[in-house]
Amino acid sequence: MADDRARLRPVAATLLTLVTGDRYEVGGEPADVERVILSAARGSLLEFAWLEDAATGRAIGVNPAHVVAMRAVVSDEG
């Protein structure tokens, strides 16, 4: 099993924190997630940034004005 884990490529994910304190782990590198958020912020009034939940694959619509922090998710290697 350890050999299988060593062959699996880590999935890129980003943790978003909103003004409410809610946190969402979404698929994608932080730079890519930031690009989606900034694009939505520059778009139509009240346009959501549509991202993918890293665990379920479901779509998550985030109000770009409510994102206060984001960081790369680092998987455990031990």
The whole model's pTM is what?
0.78
Confidence of residue 76 (pLDDT cuts 50, 70, 90): low
Class of domain 2-72: mainly beta
Averaged confidence pLDDT in the chain:
86
Alpha-helix runs per DSSP H in 20-78: 30-42
- Indicate the domain borders of the chain: 2-72
Q: Cβ distance 25 to 53 under 8 Å?
A: yes
- pLDDT for 5-31, tens place per residue? 455 556 689 999 999 999 999 999 999
Does position 3 have pLDDT exceeding 60, yes or no?
no
